Structure 1
Amino acid sequence: MIDKTFASAAEAVADIPDGASLAVGGFGLSGNPIALIEALLAQGTTDLSIVSNNCGVDDWGLGVLLNAKRIRKMTSSYVGENKEFERQFLSGELELELTPQGTLAEKLRAGGSGIAAFYTQTGVGTQVAEGGLPRKYDGTGGVAVASPAKDVRSFELNGRAGDYVLEEAIVTDFALVHAAAGDTHGNLIFNKAARNFNPLAAMAGRTCIVQVEHLFQPGELDPDRIHLPGIYVHRIVEVGGDIEKRIERRTVSVAEALGRDIPEGA
């Protein structure tokens, strides 16, 4: 039997080199592997190419690596919560491959499943398929790197013909993932919305590193509750259930915001 546990987050990420590509779980700040991200920040790794739904916020999640200028390229579907991201992108310091969210999820899943590419209708008739999306600016308002055109083919599906764009799978050098629970063999359970991109990121990484809140021995977890089997996981570190978790925005009801009751029917 293989024990995949590491003593600390720092030890688990110690061999991630400058210039590595990473698939990182999380959606907004939900399910961010923050202990692994902070360990990567502390060891000084730089020139990273990161695939993640978004890049955190200015002072949390992947935003801490961005603020330290450790990220060379982001492949993401949403970038609207991070002002430093906007500044670096528009000034030509950061490359961005903007990808539709469902397509990004499937590119990661395909990479982990041994599927080289797939056709999808998402993006047909737009710059996603036709090319020309700015990936990197030159610092003076011009586009230094633009997205290329992609292969588009017509298929008939369910009796309807239509165009589909070819999207290539994503495989990265490493994956950083957060899970609620796992065992020493790497079998993982995610908690509700924190499941998000974490299993997909785990599948796409050649070496998958996971932080878990609670670590169990083999056989202690109900097999029917396992969301991701240990075959995808190479390293696992326990960070505790009291690890800090943040959200981008706290939403309250109108009544709470006004500090008074709202009449029924109002």
Structure 2
Amino acid sequence: MTFTNNTAIVLDIGTSKLVALAGKKDESGKITVLASSTSSANGFKRGIVLNIDLATQSIKHVLTDLSNKLNQDIESVCISFAGPHLITLDYKGYRYTKNENIIKQEDIDFLYNEARNQAIADDYIQLVIEPQSYLIDDEIEDPNPVGITGKKIEASYKIVAVPKEQINNLKRVFEKVDVKISEIVPSPVAISEYVLTEDEKEIGSISLDIGAGTTKMSIFNNSVLIDTFVVPFAGDVISKDIKEGCSIQLKYAEQLKMQYGEALGTLFRLV
């Protein structure tokens, strides 16, 4: 998340709605929400731009409302993106140390930049490069290798990528709104940063968010991101199944789901 004068604007693009938040970070790092705004996600389908003009109107509406509440102009936003064609890739690189055979930060930076420049499918673009592990001289594994002696360091990364076309269409919309995109973060990663503690990531946890049109999941173990993906099935599918099964209107099916739907662990038995 990018802060300007300790203030950040975040926009979550969902299937059914857009949610914009303004937050301010104090000296201790705590973030306070200053204002929020929501709008229907007209022009979007499952988090991606379907209609440029309608999407522009939706973005402009929610950001204008937030700007009015803040009483200040919005110049840039950080976007939480949840397109259904998100993929994760594994990458490994290695480097031999120099001089005193001590691993330095420049070695880590070199390996990271190498991963960032790694060629993937022509129609995809990287959004996240997450370090998985560092192996020194094929023996010592350490998450913080700087300062360790060794002749060779091998780094493993998890790369999260999305189709270029989806990002390009999003940029076209924001150009029409005249607002800069400061950062694009995959929604599963952004959600996990909010709901999971560092202890939960260490022991192994799953972050699962069931939206209207997509279900987002991130898997952590030993404090590293193991996998993340977006499934194009979510709450709307449940509502439509209730509609067909009960032969009722969709709005009543949605009401039944919201009023009586439960997903408690005590209701299920693992086989």
TM score, norm. by length of structure 1: 0.25
Instruction: Indicate the structure with greater helix content.
Output: 2
Q: Give the structure, 1 or 2, with the largest relative contact order (CA under 8 Å, sep 6 or more).
A: 1
